[in-house]
Each structure stands twice: as structure tokens, then as C-alpha cells.
Amino acid sequence: MLQPSFHIREIPIYGDVILSPMDGYSDLPFRSVCRTLGSAMSYTEFVNVDELQGRHGGSRRTQQKLVFDPAERPISFQIYGHDVDRIVRTAVRLQELQPDIIDINMGCYVKNISERGAGAGMLRFPDRVAQLFSTLARELQVPVTAKMRIGWDDNQRNYLEIAQIVAGCGASALAVHGRTRAQAYKGAADWDAIAEIRQQLHIPVLGNGDVRTPADIRRMQQHTGCAAVLIGRGAIGNPWIFQHKAAESVNTAEKIALVRRHLALNQQFYGAAAGLVLFRKHVAHYLQHTARGESLRLALLTCEHTADFEALIESLGSAQPVAVPA
């Protein structure tokens, strides 16, 4: 029988490569594509607990972020906020939607989030982190996990302190993006810091940052000993990374079939018009490494009709260019 790679509390995780949460990208359609290709579980895009307050429970966009397909399970809802009571109350209520896990974002670097003490801003308040995780561990039925950066800036790389608090206060796994909040995406992710955290903790540590190729997956695992690797940007346009394939090695027929499937899922989820428009940001990435992608890019990015879009995609596989709609 297939053995789980690791557990998040009692939840078995089959596989050790996972799509990282990405606002604007890791929605239900893209998560489903990645999960089918081998991502071992799903994280939602992050959701602001403040937006879930009130009678109507947030905007349509916020509510859409929490919709999932049962086939994605295990599914983790990722939330963020700065107020312990509000985060706890929201997390308790969100259990009604039956996620498997609730994850706390402690990595977002965006100014108006981190500077009010949410996202990576939480790293500056170890006492608040302790209070939050001990309360969540007590109040939630589902396991709670965290995703963190390694500190606020170069002078405050307090990752070991925070990691030990999170684990000691009852979290069941910890994902670590090896950059500080001040780095945003600059410089290289510090895999040594991830390895250090992994050596100190007795809960699964998920390594994250700069994994773009199958070789990177192995290097991250060997370097850090992490239970699983989270892949963000490297999966956009290349969900085959979850099959340990490089984008260059995926043949055109396979690419066309998947682009069509992803588009169909997008249109099912968002409706035909919005689904097509929202797909544009993905298609530019899918076209990389295709022989005729560059010449089709502009036409695809301005195309407004599904049939034209599909004809353009199909033409990636033919020697002759199709007539591009004006």
C-alpha cells in the first residue's frame, strides 16, 4: 500500500511537493490542475480575516477563495490578520466549511498588511504569535499550521525563536520561505535557515523559495531535510513540475491539452467571460518554451472569444500560423 510521505497531525500527506499559496494564482482551477499532476495537497490563496467579518462574510471574491473541490483534499484555508481574537473567531467559524487544515500567513511582505502586524508583521511580536497558536490549538478541531518568512529584516532574523514558539504552542506543520520581509523576492532564499529550523523542530517543516526545476526539488530536500517542498512561481506555466518535469520537456500536444483543460476549469468557476480574461495571466507563462508562443502571445492576450482563443492554442501544434483575429 502507498505510504504517506508525512502527516499533518493525523492527516496523511501522500507526496512531498506542494503548490504554494499564491494570491491571484492558486485558485480552485489552478490548484485542481496542480493537484491532478501531483501536488500533494492544496492551500487556498490567503484570506483577510477582517474581510470575513460581518453578516455577509466578505465580498464575492473573498468567498470564492474558500471554495474547493473535495478531490483537492487535504485542503488548507490560509488566513491572515493582526488581531488574535478576530483570527481565532474567524478560524473557528471557517471550520463550518470543512477545511482539513487552517494555516496562518506569517509571510506576506506587502506594506499595508505587514506594517499593521499581519502577515510577516507577526514575526515582530513573538508573544502575540504564542498567544495565537496556543489559542488556535485549543479552540480548533482541525490542525493549525503556519507559513512564515525568516524574519523582518537582516537585523531581525528571529526565525528560530518564532519556529519554536509556533511548534511549541501546538502547530502541526510549519512552511518556511527562506527570505526576510525586507527582501520581498530579492536575493536568494536562505535554505540554510530552513535546514536549521528543520533540525530544531519535531513537526514537519516544509521548505520554500526558489525551487523551479526538478533538480531544485531534490537539492532543497537534500539541503534542508524538509518533509515537503512548496513551489510557487516555478509552478506558474509549469504545473508539470509536480510530475518532476521541466517545462522544456513537455511536448506541445500535452501542453495544448492542459491549457485547454485549465481554461475550461477557469470558465466553469468564474463564468465564460471572466474565466477567459483571468486566464490571460496564465497563458503568457504556458507559452514560454514553445516554438510559436512568442508570435501568438499578443493575439492570445487580447482575444475575447473562447473559440478564437482555442484555435490559437491549437495552432501551437501546427506548422502553419493560423489567421489571427483582428
Ligand X SMILES: Cc1cc2nc3c(=O)[nH]c(=O)nc-3n(C[C@H](O)[C@H](O)[C@H](O)COP(=O)(O)O)c2cc1C
Which residues bind to ligand X, rule: CB under 6 A? Answer: 20-25, 45-46, 78, 105, 107, 147, 177, 208-211, 231-234
What is the Cα–Cα distance from 238 to 243, expressed in whole angstroms?
Answer: 10
Known catalytic residue: 226?
A: no
Q: Scanning the structure block, which residue is given the C-alpha cell 473573498?
A: 62
Nearer to ligand X (CB atom), residue 44 or residue 315: 44
Residue ranges of E strands in 88-212? 101-106, 144-149, 174-177, 205-208
Catalytic residue among 34, 108, 169, 226: 108
Tell me the residue number closest to ligand X, measured at CB: 232
- The amino acid present at 56, given as its one-letter code, is H
Residue 113 CB, shortest distance to ligand X, in Å, is: 10
Residue 220 CB, shortest distance to ligand X, in Å, is: 10
Write the CB contacts of 206 (distance below 8 Å, at least 6 apart in sequence). 18, 147, 173, 174, 175, 176, 226, 227, 228, 229, 230
Nearer to ligand X (CB atom), residue 234 or residue 293: 234
What is the Cα–Cα distance from 133 to 144, expressed in whole angstroms?
Answer: 8
Nearer to ligand X (CB atom), residue 23 or residue 51: 23
- The amino acid present at 175, given as its one-letter code, is A
Residue 23 CB, shortest distance to ligand X, in Å, is: 4
Residue 142 CB, shortest distance to ligand X, in Å, is: 18
What is the Cα–Cα distance from 115 to 113, expressed in whole angstroms?
Answer: 6
Nearer to ligand X (CB atom), residue 103 or residue 196: 103
| Three cell numbers, residue 22 | 499564491
Active site residues: 108
